[in-house]
Structure 1
Amino acid sequence: MNFKETALEAAIAGGNILKKQFGNIESIQAKAAHDIVSSADYASEKEIRRIIESAYPEHNVVGEETGDNNKVSEYSWIIDPLDGTSNFVTGNPYFSVSIALAFKNDVILGIVYNPILDEVYFAEKGKGSFLNDKRIFVSDERDLKNALLGSAYSPLEEKIKSGLKDVEKLSLKSRKVVINFSPALDLCNIARGRIHGLFDNGTRPEDHAAGSLILTEAGGRVQNYNSDSWDIKKIGIIASNGKLQSSIINVLKSDD
Protein backbone atom coordinates (compact mmCIF):
# COMPACT_ATOMS: atom_id res chain seq x y z
CA MET A 1 0.00 0.00 0.00
CA ASN A 2 1.06 3.60 -0.55
CA PHE A 3 0.79 6.39 2.04
CA LYS A 4 -2.72 7.42 0.98
CA GLU A 5 -4.08 3.88 1.03
CA THR A 6 -2.57 3.23 4.45
CA ALA A 7 -3.95 6.46 5.90
CA LEU A 8 -7.40 5.79 4.49
CA GLU A 9 -7.50 2.21 5.77
CA ALA A 10 -6.36 3.33 9.22
CA ALA A 11 -8.80 6.24 9.44
CA ILE A 12 -11.80 4.15 8.42
CA ALA A 13 -10.81 1.34 10.78
CA GLY A 14 -10.55 3.80 13.65
CA GLY A 15 -13.82 5.41 12.65
CA ASN A 16 -15.61 2.06 12.59
CA ILE A 17 -14.55 1.49 16.19
CA LEU A 18 -15.92 4.90 17.12
CA LYS A 19 -19.24 4.16 15.44
CA LYS A 20 -19.58 0.92 17.40
CA GLN A 21 -18.90 2.64 20.72
CA PHE A 22 -20.89 5.80 20.00
CA GLY A 23 -23.70 5.73 22.54
CA ASN A 24 -22.21 2.61 24.12
CA ILE A 25 -18.97 3.77 25.76
CA GLU A 26 -17.20 1.26 27.96
CA SER A 27 -15.31 3.76 30.14
CA ILE A 28 -14.43 7.44 30.59
CA GLN A 29 -11.44 8.74 32.54
CA ALA A 30 -10.19 12.18 33.52
CA LYS A 31 -6.92 13.23 31.85
CA ALA A 32 -6.89 16.54 33.72
CA ALA A 33 -9.32 18.78 35.59
CA HIS A 34 -11.04 19.84 32.37
CA ASP A 35 -10.12 17.03 29.97
CA ILE A 36 -11.23 13.43 29.47
CA VAL A 37 -10.35 10.28 27.54
CA SER A 38 -12.61 7.34 26.71
CA SER A 39 -12.18 3.67 25.95
CA ALA A 40 -13.03 4.55 22.35
CA ASP A 41 -9.97 6.84 22.11
CA TYR A 42 -7.68 3.99 23.13
CA ALA A 43 -9.36 1.34 20.98
CA SER A 44 -9.32 3.55 17.89
CA GLU A 45 -5.68 4.52 18.38
CA LYS A 46 -4.61 0.91 18.93
CA GLU A 47 -6.11 -0.16 15.60
CA ILE A 48 -4.79 2.87 13.71
CA ARG A 49 -1.29 2.27 15.05
CA ARG A 50 -1.46 -1.42 14.18
CA ILE A 51 -2.25 -0.66 10.54
CA ILE A 52 0.36 2.08 10.14
CA GLU A 53 3.13 0.25 12.00
CA SER A 54 2.46 -2.92 10.00
CA ALA A 55 2.78 -1.02 6.73
CA TYR A 56 5.71 1.19 7.77
CA PRO A 57 7.50 -0.36 10.77
CA GLU A 58 10.45 1.99 10.33
CA HIS A 59 8.34 5.17 10.65
CA ASN A 60 7.82 7.22 13.79
CA VAL A 61 4.23 7.22 15.07
CA VAL A 62 2.86 9.78 17.53
CA GLY A 63 -0.57 9.15 19.04
CA GLU A 64 -2.48 11.51 21.30
CA GLU A 65 -3.22 8.82 23.87
CA THR A 66 -0.25 6.44 23.74
CA GLY A 67 2.56 8.78 22.74
CA ASP A 68 5.61 8.29 20.55
CA ASN A 69 7.07 4.95 19.43
CA ASN A 70 10.49 6.68 19.36
CA LYS A 71 11.58 5.43 15.96
CA VAL A 72 14.39 7.40 14.32
CA SER A 73 12.84 8.34 11.00
CA GLU A 74 12.31 11.36 8.78
CA TYR A 75 8.67 10.25 8.52
CA SER A 76 6.24 10.76 11.41
CA TRP A 77 2.59 9.78 11.53
CA ILE A 78 0.57 12.07 13.81
CA ILE A 79 -2.68 10.59 15.11
CA ASP A 80 -5.72 11.84 16.95
CA PRO A 81 -7.91 8.73 17.19
CA LEU A 82 -10.91 10.72 18.42
CA ASP A 83 -10.90 14.46 17.94
CA GLY A 84 -13.90 15.71 19.88
CA THR A 85 -14.01 13.28 22.80
CA SER A 86 -16.29 15.52 24.88
CA ASN A 87 -18.78 15.58 22.02
CA PHE A 88 -18.50 11.82 21.54
CA VAL A 89 -19.21 10.89 25.15
CA THR A 90 -22.27 13.15 25.33
CA GLY A 91 -23.82 11.82 22.13
CA ASN A 92 -22.95 14.81 19.93
CA PRO A 93 -21.88 13.41 16.52
CA TYR A 94 -19.33 16.18 15.88
CA PHE A 95 -16.09 14.21 16.10
CA SER A 96 -13.52 12.65 13.80
CA VAL A 97 -10.37 10.62 13.29
CA SER A 98 -7.35 12.70 12.27
CA ILE A 99 -4.17 11.27 10.71
CA ALA A 100 -1.25 13.22 9.25
CA LEU A 101 2.07 12.18 7.77
CA ALA A 102 4.98 14.57 8.17
CA PHE A 103 8.35 14.45 6.44
CA LYS A 104 11.00 16.42 8.33
CA ASN A 105 8.32 18.36 10.26
CA ASP A 106 6.48 19.25 7.03
CA VAL A 107 3.02 17.69 6.71
CA ILE A 108 2.73 16.00 3.32
CA LEU A 109 -0.55 14.11 3.80
CA GLY A 110 -3.63 14.64 5.92
CA ILE A 111 -6.89 12.76 6.36
CA VAL A 112 -9.83 13.59 8.62
CA TYR A 113 -12.68 11.11 8.75
CA ASN A 114 -16.15 11.87 10.10
CA PRO A 115 -17.51 8.35 10.66
CA ILE A 116 -21.09 9.38 11.40
CA LEU A 117 -21.53 11.18 8.07
CA ASP A 118 -19.00 8.92 6.28
CA GLU A 119 -17.09 11.99 5.10
CA VAL A 120 -13.41 11.62 4.20
CA TYR A 121 -11.41 14.83 3.91
CA PHE A 122 -8.04 14.28 2.29
CA ALA A 123 -5.07 16.29 1.05
CA GLU A 124 -1.57 15.68 -0.21
CA LYS A 125 0.84 18.58 -0.35
CA GLY A 126 0.63 20.38 -3.67
CA LYS A 127 -2.34 18.32 -4.92
CA GLY A 128 -5.39 20.09 -3.48
CA SER A 129 -8.03 19.07 -0.94
CA PHE A 130 -10.90 16.68 -1.40
CA LEU A 131 -14.09 15.57 0.32
CA ASN A 132 -15.04 12.04 -0.74
CA ASP A 133 -12.93 12.52 -3.90
CA LYS A 134 -14.56 15.85 -4.82
CA ARG A 135 -12.29 18.92 -4.85
CA ILE A 136 -13.12 21.50 -2.17
CA PHE A 137 -12.24 25.16 -1.71
CA VAL A 138 -12.59 27.81 0.98
CA SER A 139 -15.29 30.47 0.80
CA ASP A 140 -14.73 33.93 -0.65
CA GLU A 141 -16.13 35.75 2.41
CA ARG A 142 -14.12 38.90 3.13
CA ASP A 143 -16.22 40.71 5.74
CA LEU A 144 -15.75 39.61 9.35
CA LYS A 145 -19.26 40.84 10.18
CA ASN A 146 -20.65 38.04 8.01
CA ALA A 147 -18.25 35.35 9.23
CA LEU A 148 -19.12 32.18 11.13
CA LEU A 149 -16.15 31.19 13.27
CA GLY A 150 -15.27 28.07 15.20
CA SER A 151 -13.45 28.12 18.51
CA ALA A 152 -12.28 26.13 21.50
CA TYR A 153 -9.59 26.52 24.13
CA SER A 154 -7.00 24.66 26.16
CA PRO A 155 -8.13 22.67 29.22
CA LEU A 156 -5.56 24.61 31.29
CA GLU A 157 -7.39 27.04 33.56
CA GLU A 158 -5.41 30.15 32.64
CA LYS A 159 -5.99 29.45 28.95
CA ILE A 160 -9.69 28.82 29.51
CA LYS A 161 -9.94 32.36 30.86
CA SER A 162 -7.99 33.94 28.01
CA GLY A 163 -9.77 31.75 25.46
CA LEU A 164 -13.18 32.91 26.65
CA LYS A 165 -12.02 36.53 26.41
CA ASP A 166 -11.05 35.88 22.79
CA VAL A 167 -14.46 34.31 22.16
CA GLU A 168 -16.11 37.46 23.52
CA LYS A 169 -13.96 39.72 21.33
CA LEU A 170 -14.72 37.90 18.11
CA SER A 171 -18.38 37.26 18.98
CA LEU A 172 -18.87 41.03 19.00
CA LYS A 173 -17.18 41.48 15.62
CA SER A 174 -18.44 38.46 13.65
CA ARG A 175 -21.83 36.97 12.81
CA LYS A 176 -21.39 34.08 15.24
CA VAL A 177 -18.75 32.11 17.14
CA VAL A 178 -19.50 28.43 17.70
CA ILE A 179 -17.50 26.41 20.24
CA ASN A 180 -17.28 22.91 18.78
CA PHE A 181 -14.26 21.32 20.51
CA SER A 182 -13.27 19.42 17.38
CA PRO A 183 -10.63 21.54 15.63
CA ALA A 184 -9.87 18.89 13.00
CA LEU A 185 -13.45 19.04 11.73
CA ASP A 186 -13.57 22.83 12.07
CA LEU A 187 -10.51 23.13 9.83
CA CYS A 188 -12.17 20.86 7.27
CA ASN A 189 -15.37 22.89 7.40
CA ILE A 190 -13.36 26.02 6.62
CA ALA A 191 -11.75 24.11 3.75
CA ARG A 192 -15.15 23.27 2.26
CA GLY A 193 -16.56 26.78 2.78
CA ARG A 194 -19.09 25.99 5.51
CA ILE A 195 -17.44 28.24 8.09
CA HIS A 196 -14.86 30.96 7.71
CA GLY A 197 -12.33 30.76 10.53
CA LEU A 198 -11.10 29.05 13.69
CA PHE A 199 -9.23 30.30 16.74
CA ASP A 200 -8.15 27.85 19.42
CA ASN A 201 -5.36 28.48 21.93
CA GLY A 202 -5.04 24.82 22.93
CA THR A 203 -4.69 22.66 19.81
CA ARG A 204 -1.81 20.22 19.76
CA PRO A 205 -0.12 18.64 16.71
CA GLU A 206 -2.45 15.64 16.91
CA ASP A 207 -5.44 18.01 16.69
CA HIS A 208 -4.31 20.27 13.86
CA ALA A 209 -1.65 18.54 11.73
CA ALA A 210 -3.99 16.89 9.21
CA GLY A 211 -6.61 19.63 9.15
CA SER A 212 -4.05 22.37 8.62
CA LEU A 213 -2.87 20.75 5.38
CA ILE A 214 -6.42 20.12 4.20
CA LEU A 215 -7.23 23.78 4.79
CA THR A 216 -4.15 25.27 3.16
CA GLU A 217 -4.53 23.00 0.13
CA ALA A 218 -8.10 24.32 -0.19
CA GLY A 219 -6.83 27.91 -0.26
CA GLY A 220 -6.91 28.79 3.43
CA ARG A 221 -4.30 30.04 5.86
CA VAL A 222 -3.03 28.89 9.26
CA GLN A 223 -0.68 30.26 11.90
CA ASN A 224 0.06 29.56 15.53
CA TYR A 225 -1.49 31.55 18.36
CA ASN A 226 0.58 34.64 19.20
CA SER A 227 2.77 34.05 16.16
CA ASP A 228 2.95 35.16 12.55
CA SER A 229 4.29 31.78 11.43
CA TRP A 230 3.15 28.15 11.44
CA ASP A 231 4.85 25.21 13.12
CA ILE A 232 2.79 22.04 13.58
CA LYS A 233 4.69 21.21 16.77
CA LYS A 234 3.53 24.36 18.55
CA ILE A 235 0.32 24.79 20.54
CA GLY A 236 -2.70 26.70 19.26
CA ILE A 237 -4.01 27.76 15.86
CA ILE A 238 -5.60 30.70 14.09
CA ALA A 239 -7.04 29.65 10.74
CA SER A 240 -9.31 31.10 8.09
CA ASN A 241 -10.25 31.16 4.45
CA GLY A 242 -7.24 33.48 4.05
CA LYS A 243 -9.27 36.59 3.27
CA LEU A 244 -10.26 37.02 6.93
CA GLN A 245 -6.95 36.16 8.57
CA SER A 246 -5.82 39.74 9.19
CA SER A 247 -9.23 40.78 10.50
CA ILE A 248 -9.34 37.90 12.99
CA ILE A 249 -5.81 38.58 14.20
CA ASN A 250 -6.44 42.31 14.59
CA VAL A 251 -9.44 41.61 16.82
CA LEU A 252 -7.51 39.10 18.92
CA LYS A 253 -4.68 41.60 19.40
CA SER A 254 -7.02 44.43 20.36
CA ASP A 255 -7.59 45.55 23.95
CA ASP A 256 -11.34 46.01 23.47
Structure 2
Amino acid sequence: MSDHDQIQAVARAAVLAGGAELRDRYRDGDAEAEYGAHDVKAAADVAAESRMLPVVREAFPDHAVFAEEAGEFAGDEPYRWIIDPLDGTNDFAAGLPTFASSVAVLRDGEPLVAAVHQPATDETYVARAGEGVRYDGDRVDAADARGTGGEAAGDLAGATVAVIVGRDVPRDPALAAEADALRAALGDRVKRVLDSWAPTVHSGLFARGRLQGIVQFRPDEEERAVTELLATEAGAAVRRDGDLSVAATDEATLGELCSALDGADR
Protein backbone atom coordinates (compact mmCIF):
# COMPACT_ATOMS: atom_id res chain seq x y z
CA MET A 1 0.00 0.00 0.00
CA SER A 2 1.41 3.40 -0.98
CA ASP A 3 1.45 6.40 1.37
CA HIS A 4 -1.45 7.96 -0.53
CA ASP A 5 -3.40 4.70 -0.40
CA GLN A 6 -2.97 4.68 3.36
CA ILE A 7 -3.99 8.34 3.66
CA GLN A 8 -7.12 7.63 1.64
CA ALA A 9 -7.98 4.60 3.79
CA VAL A 10 -7.49 6.53 7.03
CA ALA A 11 -9.57 9.47 5.78
CA ARG A 12 -12.41 7.10 4.96
CA ALA A 13 -12.08 5.35 8.32
CA ALA A 14 -12.18 8.70 10.13
CA VAL A 15 -15.42 9.87 8.50
CA LEU A 16 -17.04 6.50 9.13
CA ALA A 17 -16.07 6.74 12.81
CA GLY A 18 -17.46 10.25 13.13
CA GLY A 19 -20.54 9.29 11.17
CA ALA A 20 -21.28 6.37 13.51
CA GLU A 21 -21.39 8.79 16.44
CA LEU A 22 -23.63 11.20 14.55
CA ARG A 23 -25.97 8.43 13.42
CA ASP A 24 -26.55 7.25 16.99
CA ARG A 25 -27.16 10.77 18.26
CA TYR A 26 -29.43 11.64 15.35
CA ARG A 27 -31.56 8.55 15.90
CA ASP A 28 -31.78 9.38 19.61
CA GLY A 29 -33.06 12.86 18.74
CA ASP A 30 -30.01 14.60 20.23
CA ALA A 31 -30.58 18.37 19.90
CA GLU A 32 -28.16 19.54 22.61
CA ALA A 33 -26.57 22.69 21.22
CA GLU A 34 -25.77 26.35 21.68
CA TYR A 35 -27.97 28.36 19.33
CA GLY A 36 -26.72 31.71 18.03
CA ALA A 37 -28.20 34.18 15.58
CA HIS A 38 -26.17 32.78 12.66
CA ASP A 39 -24.83 29.40 13.76
CA VAL A 40 -25.39 26.35 15.91
CA LYS A 41 -22.75 24.55 17.96
CA ALA A 42 -23.98 21.04 18.72
CA ALA A 43 -22.65 18.63 21.34
CA ALA A 44 -22.52 16.12 18.49
CA ASP A 45 -19.70 18.13 16.86
CA VAL A 46 -17.42 17.51 19.81
CA ALA A 47 -18.46 13.89 20.22
CA ALA A 48 -17.93 13.01 16.55
CA GLU A 49 -14.55 14.73 16.47
CA SER A 50 -13.44 12.77 19.52
CA ARG A 51 -14.01 9.63 17.43
CA MET A 52 -12.30 10.97 14.30
CA LEU A 53 -9.20 12.71 15.64
CA PRO A 54 -7.57 9.62 17.21
CA VAL A 55 -7.97 7.70 13.93
CA VAL A 56 -5.89 10.32 12.14
CA ARG A 57 -3.39 11.09 14.90
CA GLU A 58 -2.59 7.43 15.59
CA ALA A 59 -2.01 6.69 11.91
CA PHE A 60 -0.04 9.85 11.10
CA PRO A 61 1.34 11.44 14.29
CA ASP A 62 3.76 13.62 12.29
CA HIS A 63 1.08 15.18 10.05
CA ALA A 64 -0.35 18.60 10.77
CA VAL A 65 -4.04 18.57 11.64
CA PHE A 66 -6.75 21.20 11.92
CA ALA A 67 -9.79 19.91 13.78
CA GLU A 68 -12.81 22.20 13.93
CA GLU A 69 -13.29 21.73 17.68
CA ALA A 70 -9.80 20.92 19.00
CA GLY A 71 -7.90 23.38 16.79
CA GLU A 72 -4.43 23.10 15.25
CA PHE A 73 -1.86 20.34 15.75
CA ALA A 74 1.57 21.14 14.31
CA GLY A 75 3.38 18.69 12.06
CA ASP A 76 6.66 18.33 10.14
CA GLU A 77 5.30 16.60 7.04
CA PRO A 78 3.97 18.26 3.85
CA TYR A 79 0.50 16.90 4.72
CA ARG A 80 -2.25 18.76 6.57
CA TRP A 81 -5.56 17.20 7.60
CA ILE A 82 -8.75 19.21 7.98
CA ILE A 83 -11.42 17.50 10.09
CA ASP A 84 -15.04 18.68 10.02
CA PRO A 85 -16.93 16.34 12.36
CA LEU A 86 -20.39 17.68 11.55
CA ASP A 87 -21.01 19.60 8.36
CA GLY A 88 -24.63 20.69 8.40
CA THR A 89 -25.01 21.33 12.12
CA ASN A 90 -28.14 23.43 11.57
CA ASP A 91 -29.75 20.57 9.65
CA PHE A 92 -28.74 18.03 12.31
CA ALA A 93 -30.17 20.18 15.11
CA ALA A 94 -33.39 20.67 13.15
CA GLY A 95 -33.80 16.93 12.63
CA LEU A 96 -33.00 17.02 8.91
CA PRO A 97 -30.92 14.14 7.47
CA THR A 98 -28.66 16.36 5.34
CA PHE A 99 -25.46 16.37 7.37
CA ALA A 100 -22.07 14.65 7.14
CA SER A 101 -18.65 14.02 8.62
CA SER A 102 -15.84 15.09 6.32
CA VAL A 103 -12.06 15.04 6.04
CA ALA A 104 -9.74 16.77 3.60
CA VAL A 105 -6.01 16.11 3.27
CA LEU A 106 -3.74 18.70 1.70
CA ARG A 107 -0.27 18.03 0.33
CA ASP A 108 1.86 21.17 0.08
CA GLY A 109 -1.34 23.18 0.37
CA GLU A 110 -3.18 21.44 -2.47
CA PRO A 111 -6.13 19.06 -1.94
CA LEU A 112 -5.03 15.43 -2.19
CA VAL A 113 -7.83 13.39 -0.61
CA ALA A 114 -11.38 14.12 0.49
CA ALA A 115 -13.81 11.82 2.27
CA VAL A 116 -17.44 12.46 3.19
CA HIS A 117 -19.87 10.20 5.03
CA GLN A 118 -23.60 10.91 5.38
CA PRO A 119 -24.69 8.75 8.30
CA ALA A 120 -28.45 9.27 8.01
CA THR A 121 -28.43 7.76 4.51
CA ASP A 122 -25.25 5.66 4.81
CA GLU A 123 -23.58 7.25 1.77
CA THR A 124 -19.83 7.72 1.38
CA TYR A 125 -17.76 9.72 -1.09
CA VAL A 126 -14.00 9.46 -1.52
CA ALA A 127 -12.03 11.68 -3.91
CA ARG A 128 -8.31 11.63 -4.64
CA ALA A 129 -6.29 13.91 -6.88
CA GLY A 130 -5.89 12.28 -10.26
CA GLU A 131 -8.04 9.28 -9.28
CA GLY A 132 -11.59 10.63 -9.58
CA VAL A 133 -14.53 10.40 -7.16
CA ARG A 134 -16.07 7.23 -5.85
CA TYR A 135 -19.56 7.08 -4.38
CA ASP A 136 -20.05 3.96 -2.27
CA GLY A 137 -17.17 2.43 -4.23
CA ASP A 138 -18.36 3.28 -7.74
CA ARG A 139 -16.78 5.95 -9.96
CA VAL A 140 -19.08 8.94 -10.57
CA ASP A 141 -19.06 11.89 -12.95
CA ALA A 142 -20.66 15.34 -12.62
CA ALA A 143 -21.60 15.34 -16.31
CA ASP A 144 -24.25 12.71 -15.55
CA ALA A 145 -26.39 15.61 -14.31
CA ARG A 146 -27.42 16.38 -17.87
CA GLY A 147 -29.39 13.19 -17.95
CA THR A 148 -31.30 13.91 -14.73
CA GLY A 149 -33.77 16.38 -16.16
CA GLY A 150 -33.03 16.09 -19.84
CA GLU A 151 -31.34 19.48 -20.01
CA ALA A 152 -28.61 20.08 -22.56
CA ALA A 153 -25.17 21.51 -21.84
CA GLY A 154 -25.43 25.25 -21.20
CA ASP A 155 -29.19 25.17 -20.59
CA LEU A 156 -29.90 26.73 -17.18
CA ALA A 157 -33.70 26.71 -17.40
CA GLY A 158 -33.93 23.29 -15.74
CA ALA A 159 -30.79 23.57 -13.58
CA THR A 160 -30.49 23.24 -9.83
CA VAL A 161 -27.59 25.19 -8.33
CA ALA A 162 -26.38 25.12 -4.71
CA VAL A 163 -25.01 28.29 -3.13
CA ILE A 164 -22.45 27.90 -0.35
CA VAL A 165 -21.38 30.84 1.81
CA GLY A 166 -18.85 30.95 4.64
CA ARG A 167 -19.84 31.50 8.24
CA ASP A 168 -18.51 35.07 8.20
CA VAL A 169 -20.91 36.13 5.43
CA PRO A 170 -24.21 36.37 7.39
CA ARG A 171 -22.42 38.27 10.15
CA ASP A 172 -21.24 41.06 7.82
CA PRO A 173 -24.01 43.20 6.26
CA ALA A 174 -21.92 44.05 3.19
CA LEU A 175 -20.98 40.42 2.53
CA ALA A 176 -24.54 39.29 3.19
CA ALA A 177 -25.77 41.79 0.61
CA GLU A 178 -23.28 40.42 -1.92
CA ALA A 179 -24.48 36.89 -1.27
CA ASP A 180 -28.10 37.96 -1.69
CA ALA A 181 -27.22 39.60 -5.01
CA LEU A 182 -25.59 36.40 -6.23
CA ARG A 183 -28.64 34.35 -5.26
CA ALA A 184 -30.97 36.82 -6.97
CA ALA A 185 -28.92 36.76 -10.17
CA LEU A 186 -29.02 32.97 -10.23
CA GLY A 187 -32.72 32.90 -9.40
CA ASP A 188 -33.49 34.81 -12.57
CA ARG A 189 -31.79 32.16 -14.72
CA VAL A 190 -32.05 28.73 -13.10
CA LYS A 191 -34.91 26.50 -12.05
CA ARG A 192 -33.89 26.17 -8.42
CA VAL A 193 -31.34 27.77 -6.07
CA LEU A 194 -30.44 25.73 -2.97
CA ASP A 195 -29.07 27.69 -0.02
CA SER A 196 -26.76 25.02 1.35
CA TRP A 197 -26.38 24.44 5.08
CA ALA A 198 -24.34 21.30 4.37
CA PRO A 199 -21.77 22.06 1.65
CA THR A 200 -20.16 18.63 1.53
CA VAL A 201 -23.54 16.94 1.12
CA HIS A 202 -24.50 19.12 -1.83
CA SER A 203 -21.01 18.85 -3.32
CA GLY A 204 -21.41 15.09 -3.24
CA LEU A 205 -24.73 15.35 -5.05
CA PHE A 206 -23.06 17.56 -7.64
CA ALA A 207 -20.17 15.13 -8.09
CA ARG A 208 -22.55 12.28 -8.94
CA GLY A 209 -24.73 14.27 -11.28
CA ARG A 210 -27.70 15.39 -9.21
CA LEU A 211 -27.01 19.13 -9.31
CA GLN A 212 -25.87 21.22 -12.26
CA GLY A 213 -23.83 23.82 -10.41
CA ILE A 214 -22.11 24.84 -7.18
CA VAL A 215 -21.42 28.50 -6.31
CA GLN A 216 -19.12 29.17 -3.34
CA PHE A 217 -18.75 32.64 -1.84
CA ARG A 218 -16.04 32.98 0.83
CA PRO A 219 -16.39 29.30 1.84
CA ASP A 220 -15.02 28.04 5.16
CA GLU A 221 -11.74 26.14 5.10
CA GLU A 222 -13.38 23.01 6.55
CA GLU A 223 -15.53 22.56 3.45
CA ARG A 224 -13.61 24.34 0.69
CA ALA A 225 -10.95 21.69 0.03
CA VAL A 226 -13.56 18.91 0.04
CA THR A 227 -15.96 20.68 -2.32
CA GLU A 228 -13.23 21.75 -4.72
CA LEU A 229 -11.64 18.29 -4.93
CA LEU A 230 -15.00 16.59 -5.42
CA ALA A 231 -15.84 18.98 -8.25
CA THR A 232 -12.46 18.75 -9.98
CA GLU A 233 -12.16 14.97 -9.73
CA ALA A 234 -15.74 14.50 -10.93
CA GLY A 235 -14.72 16.17 -14.19
CA ALA A 236 -16.56 19.44 -13.58
CA ALA A 237 -15.64 22.76 -15.12
CA VAL A 238 -14.39 25.13 -12.41
CA ARG A 239 -13.68 28.85 -12.36
CA ARG A 240 -12.30 30.88 -9.42
CA ASP A 241 -12.39 34.66 -9.13
CA GLY A 242 -11.25 36.00 -5.77
CA ASP A 243 -13.80 35.06 -3.11
CA LEU A 244 -16.06 33.40 -5.66
CA SER A 245 -15.72 29.85 -6.97
CA VAL A 246 -18.12 28.37 -9.53
CA ALA A 247 -18.36 24.73 -10.65
CA ALA A 248 -20.63 23.36 -13.35
CA THR A 249 -21.18 20.09 -15.16
CA ASP A 250 -19.46 21.34 -18.34
CA GLU A 251 -17.84 24.42 -19.85
CA ALA A 252 -21.03 25.61 -21.58
CA THR A 253 -23.02 25.50 -18.34
CA LEU A 254 -20.16 27.15 -16.47
CA GLY A 255 -20.13 29.98 -18.98
CA GLU A 256 -23.86 30.53 -18.54
CA LEU A 257 -23.59 30.47 -14.75
CA CYS A 258 -20.71 32.94 -14.74
CA SER A 259 -22.62 35.19 -17.15
CA ALA A 260 -25.58 35.20 -14.77
CA LEU A 261 -23.33 35.96 -11.79
CA ASP A 262 -21.56 38.75 -13.66
CA GLY A 263 -24.94 40.49 -13.75
CA ALA A 264 -25.29 40.43 -9.98
CA ASP A 265 -25.62 43.85 -8.35
CA ARG A 266 -22.63 43.44 -6.00
Structure 2 partner of 1:151: 163
Structure 2 partner of 1:167: 183
SS of residue paired to 1:145: coil
2:220 is the alignment partner of 1:204: yes
RMSD: 1.9
CA distance in 2, matches of 1:221, 1:89: 34
Structure 1 partner of 2:135: 131
Q: Which moved more, 1:152-161 or 1:169-178?
A: 152-161
Q: Is contact 1:188–1:214 with CA below 8 Å preserved after alignment?
A: yes
Matching residue within 41, 46, 50 for 1:46: 50
2:255 is the alignment partner of 1:246: yes
Q: Is contact 1:101–1:109 with CA below 8 Å preserved after alignment?
A: yes
CA distance in 2, matches of 1:246, 1:82: 33
Structure 2 partner of 1:25: 30
Q: Deviations over 1:91-118 (max 9, x none)?
A: 0101111111111011111111111111
Structure 1 partner of 2:199: 183
Q: Is contact 1:163–1:200 with CA below 8 Å preserved after alignment?
A: no
Q: CA distance change for structure 1 residues 208 and 132 in 2, over 3 Å: closer, same or farther?
A: same
Q: Is contact 1:185–1:211 with CA below 8 Å preserved after alignment?
A: no
State the shift of 1:255 in Å: 4.5
CA distance in 2, matches of 1:120, 1:211: 14
Unaligned runs of 5+ in 2: 147-152
Unaligned runs of 5+ in 1: 228-234
2:115 is the alignment partner of 1:107: no
State the shift of 1:75 in Å: 0.4
CA distance in 1, matches of 2:53, 2:239: 28
CA distance in 2, matches of 1:49, 1:185: 21
Q: Which moved more, 1:209-218 or 1:123-132?
A: 209-218
State the shift of 1:252 in Å: 1.5
Matching residue within 92, 95, 114 for 1:91: 95
Matching residue within 7, 10, 16 for 1:3: 7
Q: Is contact 2:100–2:200 with CA below 8 Å preserved after alignment?
A: yes
CA distance in 2, matches of 1:236, 1:205: 14
CA distance in 2, matches of 1:70, 1:49: 14
Identity %: 28
CA distance in 2, matches of 1:33, 1:25: 20
CA distance in 1, matches of 2:56, 2:24: 21
Structure 2 partner of 1:117: 121
Q: Is contact 2:236–2:250 with CA below 8 Å preserved after alignment?
A: yes
Q: Is contact 2:41–2:89 with CA below 8 Å preserved after alignment?
A: yes
Structure 2 partner of 1:237: 245
Q: Deviations over 1:201-232 (max 9, x none)?
A: 242121121232122111013444x43xxxxx
Q: Which runs of 4+ in 1 moved over 6 A?
A: none
